Every structure is written in C-alpha cells, then in structure tokens.
Amino acid sequence: MNSPPIPVLSVMKVHDLFEQSVCRYPDNTAVIHLERKISYRDLYFRYAEMADYLKGLDIDEGDRVGLLYENSIEYVYLYFAIYKAGYIVVPVDTSVKPEMINYILRDCDARALIFQSKFRRHLPKIIDDDTGLKYLVTDKNPKLDNIRPEVITFDSIPKISAGTQMDELLSDNAIPDPAQSPHDLAAIYYTSGSTGQPKGVMLSHRNLVSNTLATVEYLKLTEKDSIIVILPFYYIYGNSLLLTHIAVGGCQVVDNRFMYPEVILDTMEKEKVTGFSGVPSNFMILLNKTSFASREFKDLRYFTQAGGAMAPEVVRKLMNAFPQKEIYIMYGQTEAAPRVSYCPPERLNDKIGSIGIPVPGVDIRIMNDDGIEVPDGEPGEITVTGDNVMLGYWNQPEEQSQVLRDGRLFTGDLGRKDEDGYTFVIGRKKEIIKTGGNRVSAKEVEERILENENVSEAAVFGVEDDILGEAVKAVIVLKEGTGLTKKEIRNFCKQKLADHKIPKFIDFMDALPKYQSGKVNKLQLAKM
Amino acid sequence: MPTVKQEDIYKEIKDFIVETFLFGSDEESFGDTDSFMEKGIIDSTGILELTSFVEEKYGVTIKDEEMIPDNLDSLSNIVNFIARKKG
C-alpha cells in the first residue's frame, strides 16, 4: 500500500494520530462497543465520508462545531472528522442541563452541532435565537418544527463507493488537510472554574498531540493494548484514553454501563482488556461493592487513576488486590491537556500520596506568591510548563491572566516537592470540589443557593466521602422568620445546577463561623 | 398483572426514586419499563443508594453479581427481582 509519509511531532495535528494508525494497523480493531466492532480501516471510511461532507458546509475553517454524543463508534469518527474538516471541536458534556449546553454553544459561537438523537428532547432549550448554529448534524431527524439550523442526517451524507481502496483516499490527498498549524486552536473543553460559568479551555493540536505521546511513553502503550472506557470522551481524561489508544493502534472497549459495575467487569474479562482507567469513585465502588478484587483479569496489565486525589488507604487496597498489576496514580487538569505527572508503579509503595514526577516534556515548579520557586519540602503553588499547557480560556482574558503567566500554568493546587522530585498535593488554592471526577465550583453553588429569597448566607465546601472522594456540602443560614427544608433547597438547586453540583449534605445554622476578616471559616465548618 | 402487594412495591420504589433522584419533581416522570440508565435518572453512585433502600425495606440481600441491568434497570425489573428473591 502506498501510504503517505508519517508526520513527525512538529507538524502533527490531532487527526494525524488517527490517520497514522490507519496506515500502520488497518486491520486492528479500533473500537468495540457491546456487540459492535470496527477496524481502523472501516473507521477511516466513516471518518473520511464525514470529514469530506463537513468540509463542504457553509462555515469557515476555525469555526466551532459542538459534539453532543455518548461514547460510541460514532463519537470516535465524528471527533476526528471535525478536526480533518478544519473546525474546532467542542465536546459537550451530555449530563449537563440543556440551558448549559445553550450557554456553551453561544459562548463559543458554534456554527454547527453534531448530536445524538437521544438528546432530541432537549433541543428546544439548547437552540434559541441567540445560538448562531447553521447546521444540526444527527443520526436521526428530530422532526422539530420551526428550528432555524438546517438539519442533516447521517444517512443523507454521501458514502464512499464500494471498492474504493483506502490508500486511494490517503495517498491521493483526496481530502486535503486543513490549513491550520499544529499550534493553532484545535478544541475547546468547557470546565468549571471558581466563578459561576464554565470556562472554555483552548487546546492546540500541539497541546493534545504532545501530551498524548508523552502518556503513551510512560504507560508503555502498544498496538496490542486495549482499554476499557467507562469515562466519557467529552471529559479530558476520557479524551486522553481515546487519543493514546488511537495513537498506538490499540483498541477502545467502550462500555457506558458503569452504573452496573459487575457488567463492566464481565466486559473486561470477555474483551481481555489490558488497561483500566478510573477516577476515585470508580475504584471505591469497584473495591467495596463488586467482585472486582476477587477476579483475576489475566490480560490486564495496568490501572490508571486521575480525576482527583484518591485516599492512600484506597490505593493500598488496590495494590493488595492486584499486586502483579501496574498502578499509575496520575495528576493533571484540563488546562494541561491534561496530564501533568504520574507516579511510576515501582515507586508507588514508598511515594504513596504523591502525584509523582512530571510526564515527559513537562516541567513542574512549586512557586510562592511572588512567583519564585521554593526549595524542596516547602509549600507553594504547583505550576507547569510544557507543550501541553493550554492556549488560554476562550474569551476570558482576565481569568486567563490569573492562571497563565509567561507560558507557565498556575494550577491552583498547593503542593511541595520532596528531595527525589516527587510532588505532593497539600490543598487547593481555589475552591474547587472534585466530586466523583467532576469539578464543582463552591462559589457557583453558593451563588445559586443565595438566589433563594429565604437564604441569608451559604457556605459550600467539600467533605470526605467514601464513594465520591469528596462530596458537596452546604451550610445555610436562613433569613429570620423563614423556613426551608433540605428537600426544598435541593429542588431549588436542581433548577439551576447540574445534578453532580447539588449538595449531597445540607446543614442549617443560625450563623456561620468567620475569620476576623469576615471571610467564612470553612475549615471550621468542615470539622463540625 | 401485578399483585396488590407488588403494586405497593412499585409505588414505594417509584416514590423513593422521585424523592431521592428527581427531588420530588413531576417533570421527569418515567414508566415502569423505562431504563434508568438510558433515561439518565440514576447514576453509578445513585444505584448504590437504591439497592441499600431495597435491601433495608424488603429484607433482601443483593449480591454483587446481581447488580446487573436485568435485575435493576427499571421499575419492573426491580419489582420482579424482589419477587424472585422473596420466593
């Protein structure tokens, strides 16, 4: 087969990771989803059809295209096709309220939305006169009246004629690559911040490709690897699973049924996966509530854990259950594309509680408030430099300037380094609660609760939780003469917040403990 | 046709789900055979709350390997599962 030259890192864009593996491993299975399987070759045809069609839409290179789709074979080729067509991918969290999806589409001024028809019922709230969408691309026609965007269904997209050889499409440059450079914006991932609305993290092709290849390197991934994917692809950690395994010609075994974790364990055994990646709540559920620890998983080589701190006793439980498997405890954030550090499995025992050492190509420094690096052992803010550091926040220059200074990312996490260069997280500068793998802004939840006319004050913070890692707790002071129940508070929150942000625990007090400055003493509240 | 007792169980479990996961809202109703997973009513931590409720309320023990969609992923599935457990 006449394959095009394999691009090198300096010129690679995200979809090159896919095309490269198509050339090298066309017959490898790329994705398994329940009873469906697809090879790299067949996935390429779907990708090429979609990319070619999307290129012909009346929108410009660099325009934003939303992707509202569950993990599936379709997500994979749609995701890469958007890049190939020259647009900016905006993966959308399928669990957020439609009003939030509307906000995201307006904020990034998306011109098209590719969505799965199962979300059809939310469309009237997603699309309004302020969304600039020109196109809705979907698997089935939603049959809605009076919507402005043109609706395009998958079955109307021209198929590549039977008998077309893959290398005809590749080597003839039948679908020209977009003009963008690797340093240009590739994707926007929306994430919660310390202020009310989510922020669009702008990631370049270089951010994503360099971090993918760095992760492949330390996880020692090859085309023989297959990962069970329970994390959503719209989440940057889930996206990392997608990119790393596509980059090596490996396999994604998609299973969205973690609600029934035994089913996931059966899938892992049936498909002989070599890797499992989860957030703390996944591991806690598996270790405490399933037959996970009693299964052998003969083909499983490694676990990875990120998405928040996992308690050392849970790490030890995992190590004891699977002494022969490699366990990678990792740290990162969306703003770092996402991987910042990992603990080499062979050091986990003596470095437990650490987030490890920087991934290849990344540098970590602990800085004080004056921007000076502190000595080993001293606390400061964890800062990161590398090809993985984001371009910035979409249309939020003030927020951006608080975290990005001279190409250095200030993570908002407090930490210290030991004499071996291993970093330990000791707290958070900003009030972000990481619950069940989700980021929740304490400030955002407080602001929403305070919108209730019966509430005088509200303090929101994270408390330890066996399953979630951290759970959201609200302590509320009501106005005199008023009464609200916990259920009423939750109902109120439900109208304004995604489900995972609704406080799991609620207490009422006559007054909140405060520092002399007047700031609420949340440390004291958390101990009560 | 469900027995009288099964009708009680349907109502009790539905009320628990509406109170706990839908916060008493009538907006998002669901049918007896609707998949909790497909409809996004309950997530992976919520299912643990639901099974704890079922165990305490109906005096059954749900084994790890029984936490599967066939047994738990709709109101009908749960009620039938409880009926089988109680013989």
**Chain A, nearest residue to B50 by Cα:** A259
Binding-face residues of A in 250-269 toward B, CB within 8 A: 256-263
Contacts of B73 in chain A (CB under 8 A): 259-260
Phi-psi region of B4 (alpha: psi -120 to 50; beta: other; left: phi over 0): alpha
Contacts of B23 in chain A (CB under 8 A): 487, 490-491, 494, 502
Task: Please provide the average confidence, as pLDDT, over all residues in chain A.
Answer: 91
**Chain B, nearest residue to A292 by Cα:** B64
A95/B40 Cβ within 8 A: yes
What gap in Å lies between CA A309 and CA A331, rounded to an integer? 8
Contacts of B37 in chain A (CB under 8 A): 256-257, 259-260
- List the single range of A75-89, A398-412, A509-523 with lowest mean pLDDT: A509-523
- List the single range of A130-134, A386-390, A523-527, B11-15 with lowest mean pLDDT: A523-527
Helix (H) or strand (E) holding A409: strand A408-417
Phi-psi region of A172 (alpha: psi -120 to 50; beta: other; left: phi over 0): alpha
To the nearest whole Å, the CA of A100 is away from the closest chain B CA by: 17
Residue A354's pLDDT is 95
Mutate to test the interface with A, among B17, B61, B64 (most CBs of A within 10 A): B64
* pLDDT tens figures, A220-275: 999 999 999 999 999 999 999 999 999 999 999 999 999 999 999 999 999 999 99
**Is A125 in CB contact (< 8 Å) with chain B?**
no
Please name which of A392, A399, A278, A380 lies closest in space to residue A335, comparing C-alpha atoms. Answer: A392
Contacts of A260 in chain B (CB under 8 A): 37, 47, 67-69, 72-73
Residue A468's pLDDT is 85
More confident residue, B19 or A210: A210
B25/A491 Cβ within 8 A: yes
The predicted model scores a pTM of 0.86
Contacts of A467 in chain B (CB under 8 A): 45, 48
Cα A328 vs. chain centroid, distance in angstroms?
18
Class of domain B4-21+41-85: mainly alpha
B23/A494 Cβ within 8 A: yes
Task: Please provide the average confidence, as pLDDT, over all residues in chain B.
Answer: 86
More confident residue, A518 or A452: A452
B37/A263 Cβ within 8 A: no
B47/A259 Cβ within 8 A: yes
HSE, CB side, 13 Å, CA atoms: give it for residue B15: 7
What gap in Å lies between CA A494 and CA A99, rounded to an integer? 12
What gap in Å lies between CA B15 and CA B24, rounded to an integer? 8
Is a pLDDT exceeding 50 seen at residue A4? no
Is a pLDDT exceeding 90 seen at residue A526? no
To the nearest whole Å, the CA of B13 is away from the closest chain A CA by: 18
CB A509 within 8 A of CB A477: yes
Contacts of B45 in chain A (CB under 8 A): 281, 285, 436, 467-468
Query: ipTM of the assembly?
Result: 0.82
Give the three-state DSSP class for A31: strand
More confident residue, A292 or B7: A292
Q: Domain extents for chain B?
A: 4-21+41-85
* pLDDT tens figures, A70-106: 999 999 999 999 999 999 999 999 888 888 899 999 9
What are the Cα distances from residue A323, in Å, to A306, A348, B60?
Answer: 19, 12, 34
**Is B43 in CB contact (< 8 Å) with chain A?**
yes
Residue B38's pLDDT is 86
Indicate the residue of B24, B25, B44 with minimum beta-carbon distance to A259. B44
What gap in Å lies between CA A184 and CA A186, rounded to an integer? 6
* pLDDT tens figures, A456-475: 888 999 888 878 888 999 99
* pLDDT tens figures, B14-30: 999 988 887 666 556 78
Residue A512's pLDDT is 83
What gap in Å lies between CA A273 and CA B71, rounded to an integer? 26
* pLDDT tens figures, A18-36: 999 999 999 999 999 999 9
To the nearest whole Å, the CA of B37 is away from the closest chain A CA by: 7
**Is A285 in CB contact (< 8 Å) with chain B?**
yes
Most confident among A355-364, A368-377, B47-56 (mean pLDDT): A355-364
Q: State the amino acid at position A125 in one-letter form.
A: K
Is a pLDDT exceeding 60 seen at residue B1? no
What gap in Å lies between CA A406 and CA A408, rounded to an integer? 5
Mean pLDDT in residue range A31-54? 96
Please name which of B3, B53, B57, B10 lies closest in space to residue B30, comparing C-alpha atoms. Answer: B10
- List the single range of A150-164, A334-348, A493-507, B35-49 with lowest mean pLDDT: B35-49
Peptide bond into A338 cis (omega under 30): yes
* Cβ within 8 Å of residue A290, ≥6 positions away: A261, A262, A265, B64, B67
Report the b/e string of A167-185 with b at 16+ CB within 10 A: eebbeeeebebbebebebb
Mutate to test the interface with A, among B45, B47, B49, B61 (most CBs of A within 10 A): B45
Indicate the residue of A263, A290, A436 with minimum beta-carbon distance to B45. A436
Please name which of B5, B4, B13 lies closest in space to residue B56, comparing C-alpha atoms. Answer: B13
Residue A43's pLDDT is 97
What gap in Å lies between CA A247 and CA A67, rounded to an integer? 21
Please name which of A340, A414, A427, A411 lies closest in space to residue A379, comparing C-alpha atoms. Answer: A414
Residue A193's pLDDT is 58
Domains defined along chain A, listed by start: 41-158+174-180 (3.40.50.980), 205-428 (3.40.50.12780), 432-527 (3.30.300.30)
Residue A1's pLDDT is 40
Residue A3's pLDDT is 45
CB A425 within 8 A of CB A355: yes
Indicate the residue of B25, B37, B67 with minimum beta-carbon distance to A262. B67
DSSP A34: T
Helix (H) or strand (E) holding A470: strand A469-478
What does the H/E/C string look like for A223-244?
A: CCCEEEECCCCCCHHHHHHHHH
In terms of C-beta density within 10 A (0-12 exposed, 13-18 middle, 19 or more buried), how is residue A457 classed? Answer: middle
The number of C-beta contacts closer than 8 angstroms across A and B is 58
* Cβ within 8 Å of residue A256, ≥6 positions away: A70, A71, A230, B37
**Is B5 in CB contact (< 8 Å) with chain A?**
no
Confidence of residue A69 (pLDDT cuts 50, 70, 90): very high
**DSSP per residue, A486-501:** HHHHHHHHHTTS-GGG
Mean pLDDT in residue range A10-16? 91
**Is A490 in CB contact (< 8 Å) with chain B?**
yes
**Is A289 in CB contact (< 8 Å) with chain B?**
yes
Give the three-state DSSP class for A309: coil
B37/A257 Cβ within 8 A: yes
Contacts of A235 in chain B (CB under 8 A): none
* pLDDT tens figures, A110-119: 999 999 998 8
